[in-house]
Structure 1
Amino acid sequence: MHRLSGVFPVLPTPFTAEDAVDEAAFRRLIDFAVEAGVDGVVFPGMASEVETLSAAERGQMVAVLGAHLAGRLPFIVGASHADPAESAARAREGMAVGAVCAMIMAPPQAGQDVAKQVAFFTAVADAAPGLVIMLQNAPAPNGAALSPEAVAAVAAAVPAIRYVKEETLPCGQHVTRILAAAQGGLDGVMGGAGARFVLDELARGANGTMPALEIADVHAALWKAWRAGDKAKARRIYTETLPLLLFQMNFRVRATKDVLRRRGLLEHIGARAAGPKFDAGDLAQIGELIATAASCMTMHRPR
């Protein structure tokens, strides 16, 4: 497997007007990601409303992703679960349809105890031979919020862990510390946190970012500019889109889906996830923020 790097957006789960998972809309979003020029995709994750999906729905959509993607891009399957046996089962489910890696959150119930975290990830790896793991280090209460040194220690003890998704604050500093502590023992550290700190992460050695999907073409252009050494262009793109990403921090998947709707990529934008809903003022504000970012969008100009 080639080293994973670049922009790997987390795909949202579209729902029909009747609140069923929408396979047709999901295929359109997969095609958008491919056409946007990203380097891979992730599903399911927190931005997919994974906590609201049944096991059957989750398996159904992972299968749709593998079949429709058909090797056009690598994909990472989300396989987080408190039970290592369940986590391994979800990883195997993804591997069976083409996933090249499983993203698994360091479980909060193991806390800061490195030995417990090692035991958890070892059990997952043992139950899924050949598995490549991306350890997701997320803030509490969803994640364990491990220190960078603890992340590196867990990875060193579990050979299957080749990547880290780091999204505890301050993200940039933590990328630096993980890479220093790992001493070359990882294939890469990717940033999360909605790409709100992406330039700091890249400057500190991150090998990519894993944002939400709504401006995937913009993030692909930013990554391309950064890799080409055009940091001024990368910063311009970042500056023009950051206000929209900050707005998304409050409304999460509802903001993602509304941007995708305005770009003509979603019809129904219902969300199951908990969290604040838009009022009239929010709808006006997001329209203004999308307009600010629109010059960076290379396809599906917002309506």
Structure 2
Amino acid sequence: MNRVSPGGRRYTGAYSVAPTIFTEQGNLDLEGQKRCIDFIIDAGADGLCILANYSEQFSLSDPERERLTATILDHVAGRVPVIVTTTHFNPRICAERSRDAQARGAAMVMIMPPYHGATIRCGEAAIHAFFSDVSERIEIPIMYQDAPMSGTQVSAAFLARMAHEIPNLSYFKIEVPQSAAKLRELIELGGDAIEGPWDGEEAITLLADLDAGATGSVLGAGYPDGLQPIIREYLAGNREDAVRIYEKWLPLINFENRQSGLMACKALMKEGGIIASDAPRRPLTPLHPATRQSLVEIARRLDALVLRWAH
């Protein structure tokens, strides 16, 4: 079964998770949000992912989610494809979020398996039913986010079976330990039903996952100018060039993944004058000043566009 997204498009490449921009008081900063989006696109990202965990989606109200979805998709205006994260524990609410994203022009929705807290999980039958319910209510592709945050461990065989049996479930963002091995098995078992085997986790496993057959990745948004060329060169058959670029940017990739996490992008954007505030929403706290200084120092040595785009 060879399924390609509406319009015959198969989505590949480097997609950046857009952070949610807040004022120092914790309110949405929509003007700052638009500048953030413009930078990401200008810096070379092939697409965007919004309302993800790296967007602090867990701190947003439903009206804020709707406002951000409308504002960002209207502002992007088709310049690049946009993935909207619509994760929710309840399939009806997840489907409603997904239908709204589709109506506003989303290219795809990204969904985690249903979970709550440290202990409430669902088995394979319930997960299959969940994604089937959502798929029946939309027409755009679904990306399954296979991430440790959900605390839900499923096999590549189960994911491949869902890809064969659920029409719109055709993209898989694999960001669990030994991701490359899981991607290889998923691709082998899923065949043409796996339209998009994707990487995640801030590019820390990107090269291994590309070697395993990944065709896209959801990455941080602080330096698309460094990350997009890695995937572009690799998919063009220029692996040695991709390795060289990856090695160049690896210190920043590693620092974001291991030291600064979701705070990295906004810290770099504020340092470069793109946004006025890099404040996270409470109860999250800002980066330690020394951590922030080290992050900026690495980015400056790489001449990252984020530090000079606004000037």
Same fold (TM over 0.5): yes
2:184–2:213 contact (8 Å) kept in structure 1: yes
In the alignment, the residues of structure 1 paired with residue 180 and residue 279 of structure 2 have an alpha-carbon distance, to the nearest angstrom, of 33
In the alignment, the residues of structure 2 paired with residue 278 and residue 19 of structure 1 have an alpha-carbon distance, to the nearest angstrom, of 16
- TM-aligned CA distance change 1:125 to 1:227, over 3 Å: closer
Q: Which moved more, 1:107-116 or 1:207-216?
A: 107-116
Question: Which residue in the other structure is 2:132 paired with?
Answer: 122
TM-score of the superposed pair, with normalisation by structure 2: 0.89
Question: Which residue in the other structure is 2:212 paired with?
Answer: 204
Taking every aligned residue pair, what percent have the same amino acid on both sides? 28
Amino acid at match of 2:273: G
SS in 2 for 1:76: strand
Question: Which residue in the other structure is 2:268 paired with?
Answer: 259
Question: Which residue in the other structure is 2:288 paired with?
Answer: 279
Moved over 3 A (4+): 108-112, 273-277, 297-303
In the alignment, the residues of structure 2 paired with residue 67 and residue 25 of structure 1 have an alpha-carbon distance, to the nearest angstrom, of 15
In the alignment, the residues of structure 2 paired with residue 187 and residue 268 of structure 1 have an alpha-carbon distance, to the nearest angstrom, of 38
Structure 2: runs of 5+ lacking an equivalent: 1-5
TM-score of the superposed pair, with normalisation by structure 1: 0.92
Question: Which residue in the other structure is 2:47 paired with?
Answer: 40
- Write out aligned runs for 1:13-28 (5 A): 13-28=20-35
In the alignment, the residues of structure 2 paired with residue 143 and residue 212 of structure 1 have an alpha-carbon distance, to the nearest angstrom, of 22
Pick from 224, 231, 235 the counterpart of residue 227 of structure 1: 235
In the alignment, the residues of structure 1 paired with residue 27 and residue 106 of structure 2 have an alpha-carbon distance, to the nearest angstrom, of 24
Q: Which moved more, 1:56-65 or 1:157-166?
A: 157-166
Query: Is it true that 1:290 corresponds to 2:299 in the alignment?
Result: yes
Question: Which residue in the other structure is 2:95 paired with?
Answer: 88
In the alignment, the residues of structure 1 paired with residue 174 and residue 216 of structure 2 have an alpha-carbon distance, to the nearest angstrom, of 11
Corresponding residue pairs, total: 299
SS in 2 for 1:42: strand
1:203 Cα offset (Å): 1.2
1:149–1:178 contact (8 Å) kept in structure 2: yes
In the alignment, the residues of structure 2 paired with residue 280 and residue 10 of structure 1 have an alpha-carbon distance, to the nearest angstrom, of 24
2:269–2:307 contact (8 Å) kept in structure 1: no
1:275 Cα offset (Å): 5.4
In the alignment, the residues of structure 1 paired with residue 207 and residue 227 of structure 2 have an alpha-carbon distance, to the nearest angstrom, of 11
- Write out aligned runs for 1:144-163 (5 A): 144-163=152-171
1:260 Cα offset (Å): 1.6
Structure 1: runs of 5+ lacking an equivalent: none
For residues 226-265 of structure 1, what are the alpha-carbon distances to aligned partners after superposition, in whole Å with 9 as ceiling and x for unaligned? 2333323322221222222222223222122111222332
For residues 19-39 of structure 1, what are the alpha-carbon distances to aligned partners after superposition, in whole Å with 9 as ceiling and x for unaligned? 111111111111112212221
1:14 Cα offset (Å): 0.4
Amino acid at match of 1:256: C
